[in-house]
Amino acid sequence: MEVPILKQGNYLIATIQAALSDAALLELRDELVERVGRFRARGVVLDVTVLDVMDSFTARTLRAIAHMTKLRGARAIIVGIQPEVAFAMTQLGMTLEGVETALDLDGGLAALRRGTKGGGDRGR
């Protein structure tokens, strides 16, 4: 597994270290889902700070991770999307609708602890 996954209390923290191949990304997805079940994690923070390009496959897989972990009882929060990447994503129509986001690792953990939803929320 290229991506280190840490356990912090009830939460799992996965930090992507370098651009991932498609296969590695799918492996990460499966690994996270498995561990959420194994450790009965309540939350997952996935840090994508290092990714300088987010294409359709990556976006699709992040959504899959969020949905699949949710099915197993954990809230997933994507953190670290950089300004240029966020802009490119919206140009491409990739809005990660329904996926929670936060600015960074601290923000992600805080959102999990708050129990309130992060950026993906409409704010209502």
Q: Name the minimum Å distance from CB 99 to other proteins.
A: 9
Residues that bind other proteins (CB under 8 A): 19, 21-22, 52-57, 59-60, 63, 79, 81-97, 101-104, 107-108, 111, 118-124
Q: Name the minimum Å distance from CB 38 to other proteins.
A: 28
Q: Name the minimum Å distance from CB 88 to other proteins.
A: 4
Find all residues with CB under 8 Å of 14, minimum gap 6, and list them.
3, 4, 5, 6, 28, 32, 44, 45, 46, 47
